[in-house]
Amino acid sequence: VALVGGGPGDPGLLTVRARQLLAGADVVVRDRLAPHMALPLDVEVIEVGKTGGGPSWSQRDIEALMVERALAGNRVVRLKGGDVHVFARGIEEVAACLAAGLPVEVVPGVSSALGVPALAGIPVTAQGVTQSFTVVSAHLPPGDPRSTVDWDALARLGGTLVLLMSTARLAAVCDALLAGGRDPQTPVAVVEDGTLSSERVTIATLATAGQLAHVQPPAVVVVGEVVAARLDHRHPAVPAAPPATSPAASPAASPATSPDA
């Protein structure tokens, strides 16, 4: 069994090893957000995405499927969106395979938390801007008793904050960060459908991001001064006024904002 991180969506961001394993697979057990790529016709693809209109697979059922197929002699690739271990329950699938005596290969992938901002022109770190970034799953909102995130500490920590699974809870998250003392003028970028042709980037501040309407999953939200250091390399022909601060840019550079900013 191979547990493979498929990257944020663009098939060019699959790793070389991931492509090798997919090309040699008998069965691909695929998440909803895993990238689509051409596979040999005789590869069986089983979609086990946990959301959407189709039937729902439980985590335990997915593990049982992987184990059953591998014990039957199939070369199984478990293909995830992003990385294998970023809010992906990868270690549970490793455990299930090892318990069944099956060898497991783990192939890390480009996490959406990093790859989506990068293609949108936003560096998660920049010299002189931040020495840290934090990636948080906001599938549980601030205040939920099951949540283990200390939003006050997160607000105080500063640096870059990358939010995954936050679309329906963006207002609550912004409120929690403001309540914790983070500057309301902190820039925020909301990247929907990152790395795909349907990508949409919206720039706001911590004070205004909570009121954004029509934010659709999947979206990656970046909170922090790095958003002001954004350079949209994909639309360099449209010059615009430089942002108020851009400490990371080279002195020789003309920072530009993009048409979709």
Cα dihedral value 242, 233, 251, 188, nearest 10:
50
Could you say which of 165, 183, 193, 260 is catalytic? Answer: 165
Which one of 65, 157, 171, 172 is in contact with a copy of itself (CB under 8 A)? Answer: 157
Which one of 62, 96, 170, 261 is in contact with a copy of itself (CB under 8 A)? Answer: 96
Which one of 79, 190, 256, 261 is in contact with a copy of itself (CB under 8 A)? Answer: 256
Query: Using the rule CB under 8 A, is 86 a contact of a copy of itself?
Result: yes
d(CA 204, CA 219): 14
What does the DSSP 8-state code read for residue 23? H
d(CA 133, CA 219): 18
**Cβ distance to a copy of itself smaller for residue 37 or 171:** 37
Which residues 125-144 are close enough to bind a copy of itself by CB under 8 A? Answer: 125-127, 130-137, 139-140
| Residue 7 Ramachandran class (φ > 0 left, ψ -120 to 50 alpha, else beta) | left
Question: Residues touching a copy of itself: how many (CB under 8 A)?
Answer: 85
Q: Quick check: is 37 catalytic?
A: no
**Cβ distance to a copy of itself smaller for residue 86 or 190:** 86
Query: Using the rule CB under 8 A, is 11 a contact of a copy of itself?
Result: yes
Least distance in angstroms from the C-beta of 111 to a copy of itself = 6
Rg (CA), the chain: 20
Give the Cβ contact number of residue 93 at 10 Å: 23
Here's the x/- map for a copy of itself, 214-233, by CB under 8 A: it reads as: ---------------x-x-x
**Cβ distance to a copy of itself smaller for residue 71 or 211:** 71
Q: Quick check: is 31 catalytic?
A: yes
Name the token pair of 16: 């070389």
The values of phi and psi at residue 234, to 5°, are -85, -15
Give the Cβ contact number of residue 195 at 10 Å: 23
Least distance in angstroms from the C-beta of 147 to a copy of itself = 7
Indicate the residue type of 205.
Answer: T
Least distance in angstroms from the C-beta of 42 to a copy of itself = 22
Query: Using the rule CB under 8 A, is 19 a contact of a copy of itself?
Result: yes
Vertex 146, ends 140 and 148: CA angle to 5°? 80
Vertex 41, ends 36 and 42: CA angle to 5°? 115
Which residues 25-54 are close enough to bind a copy of itself by CB under 8 A? Answer: none
d(CA 223, CA 206): 7
Query: Using the rule CB under 8 A, is 57 a contact of a copy of itself?
Result: no
Which one of 9, 81, 117, 218 is in contact with a copy of itself (CB under 8 A)? Answer: 117
Q: Quick check: is 165 catalytic?
A: yes
Query: Using the rule CB under 8 A, is 206 a contact of a copy of itself?
Result: no
